[in-house]
A and B are shown apart, each in its own frame.
Chain A
Amino acid sequence: MTSKDGGARGVAPVAFAGAKTSRHGQDKIFHAVALCCGALILVALGAVVLFLLLRAWPIFAGPHAQTSAVFASLSGGKAHGFWQYVGPLVFGTVVIAALALAIAFFVAVGVALFITFYARKRIQTILNYVVDLLAAIPSVIYGLWGALVLVPATYPFWNWVSVHLGWIPLFAGPAANPPRTVASAAVILAIMIMPIITSMTRDIFAATPRLNQEAALALGATKWEMIKLTALPFAKSGMVSASMLALGRALGETMAVMMVLSPGMTYSWHWLQASKSQTIAANIAAQYPEADSLGVSALIATGLVLFVITFVVNLLARRITRKGGAR
């Protein structure tokens, strides 16, 4: 019981002694329920890890011949052990998510700057709504649009890139047609995570001390210099944590990647060629329907790896937010 509670009890009139005890009981029950629900968060997170471990256990404990056969069938004969199987998947997940973040970050910050410093008040509210709207569209629709509209439409661009920038190994051709490639998947993910970064950085930009901005302008700074001198340093840690959160989202995104990317199990850096990489999440969703009991165990084990990666990224993001003085 907290001290506040004691104070509240103290003022209850003595005449209601009987009612007081029953009300007091109610109070206790309410407190206990609230505490339980708080603790339930811990339990739920623990249960997620526990049940995933339990269900994944057979793939680690089972006879070697059987498990290696499972990995061989899941990877098309390329992997025979867990780490061999999950390695390329982790590589694909991280590369695609990082690429998406690299594309989305500058655009997102640009949009946030536009909304905060360039747009008029009236337009601001509309734009805020538009950004939220982008964030609200379900990922399966991004996947549908990406696979049927964006991917076919971008082939000329990727082809141009591979022809003119092909001397950079990353863009080595020939560009796949249709471009169901790492590059296309990263673009889709970038579009999906952009609103997250925009809405978070926009809030921080809007919180930039007004006096700093006016001081900068009074000293004769141009608008851009004002932004560079006041808003950007102020929002630095917030921008980092926003992009970490967005990275966490990109790492776990399933549907859009599954619908756009043509999967492969290699450590390839050729972003414009098809069937090079696959992400953990998309791999689980794609292989799950056809997997047998042990196969599902193997996929759940890869899910655990994904969970650990996103957990660490999110924890880091929150740490940065707490340390940075922006909030």
Chain B
Amino acid sequence: MAVSERPTPDFSKFKSSEALLKQREWKSRIMAGIIGLAFVIAMIPLISLLWTTIARGVKRLNLNFLAYNMSGVIGGMPTPTGGHGGIEHAIIGTLEVTLGAMLISVPVGLMCAIYLTEYARGSKFAKAISLLVNVMSGIPSIVAGLFAFSLFAILMGPGVSNGFEGSVALSILMIPTVVNSSVEMLRIVPDDLREASYALGVTKSRTIVKVVLRTALPGIVSGVILAIARVIGETAPLLMTAGFIVTTNWNLFSGQMTTLPVFVYQEYSKMSVTCPPTAGPGCVASIPSERSWAAALVLIAIVLVLNLVGRLVQHLFSVETK
């Protein structure tokens, strides 16, 4: 109606000048450059780390290194078997301690996830638990180690040190990861499946075990594998719980146990050994650091393979749902 009475906006004010356009264009380009630079900077340490570990680790990594422990190794002198000591005991220790942690945390974590998703979905108690699970996942690993140490010192007397103590420490770190990944996987299971099962007269526990868990199984498995990959490299808590020995200990519940990360650290802190002039050419002064690089390479390989397997399982699972 009274269109003509409206003030006419001064469009020329908004007209973009050539210079302004150029400036904005350039700003965008510069930011793209900065973002690309950030990416390059972030890649440098990764490449350097992988490269040095492989280059320095390969030198001492042979069958002898994998098949013998450190008993009878004197300084940089070669052992009677022709090697310079090895990590057989550390690999066994790592596997047993991690297996122990897994046996504690997988049932507990899985049942907790089932409680959160199947029984108490959205209740106040469930919310409190899931908040605490999240907070628990931020517990420093050294505090978990101190906890296991205190627990065993108080319950079993001072000076106790065995592999299982390390398993307890690791399970504190592992449970939240298992709970979180399992909850995510259980939530994906469609409600239709549950309802169909109930409609057939199947009880709730059977529905959960036979239908829900079976559907979510690959996702849960991959979550567990990733959780293992995370704790298998933990050092600090094992330093104070599982201890350090040079011989092979098969018993998880008695006596100290060496794990790979602790071995890496211990060899690193030795740095080098002195070779007396009479030692001959077989003596290697820098053997501890070489051993620690080789053990680090084995550790990285284990962690990466676990990650790869976990992701592969996840990938196969996600294809199935679509």
Contacts and interface: CB of A to CB of B under 8 A. Distances in A.
Interface in B289-314: 289, 292-293, 296, 299-300, 303-304, 307, 311
Interface in B182-228: 198-199, 201-209
A145 B52 contact: yes
A138 B204 contact: no
Contacts of B139: 48, 252, 307, 310-311
A23 B233 CA distance: 43
Interface stretch (B26-34, B248-256, B276-284): B26-34
B204 A27 contact: yes
B78 to A, nearest CB: 24
Contacts of B32: 118, 223-224
A281 B265 contact: no
Given A136-B307, A306-B143, A141 B300 contact: yes
Contacts of B204: 4-5, 8, 27, 30-31
A225 B236 contact: no
Nearest to A248: B138
Contacts of B128: 42
A310 B131 CA distance: 14
A111 interface: yes
B134 interface: yes
Given A47-B147, A284-B146, A144 B268 contact: yes
Interface stretch (B4-12, B67-75, B95-103, B148-156): B148-156
The 4 residue pairs across chains A and B that have the minimum distance between CB atoms: A252-B140, A138-B233, A110-B38, A37-B111
Which secondary structure characterizes the binding site on chain A? helix
A307 B233 CA distance: 21
B42 interface: yes
B28 A45 contact: no
A299 B150 CA distance: 12
B246 to A, nearest CB: 16
A23 B201 CA distance: 11
A222 B27 CA distance: 9
17 contacts: A26-B205, A31-B204, A37-B108, A39-B129, A41-B133, A51-B151, A113-B35, A133-B304, A138-B232, A140-B265, A140-B296, A141-B53, A224-B31, A251-B140, A288-B240, A299-B146, A306-B140
Contacts of B77: none
A29 B205 CA distance: 9
Interface stretch (A68-76, A168-176, A312-320): A312-320
A38 B129 contact: yes
Contact of B38 (A114, A136, A300, A317): A114
A285 B175 contact: no
Contacts of B149: 55, 296
Interface residues of A, number: 99
A229 interface: no
Given A113-B35, A259-B265, A145 B119 contact: no
Contacts of B201: 8, 11-13
Interface in A14-73: 23-24, 26-27, 29-31, 33-42, 44-45, 47-48, 51-52, 54-55
B184 to A, nearest CB: 12
Nearest to B146: A303
Contacts of A147: 268
A106 B42 CA distance: 11
A118 B35 contact: yes
Contacts of A137: 49, 233, 300, 303
A148 B138 contact: no
A160 interface: no
A66 B105 CA distance: 40
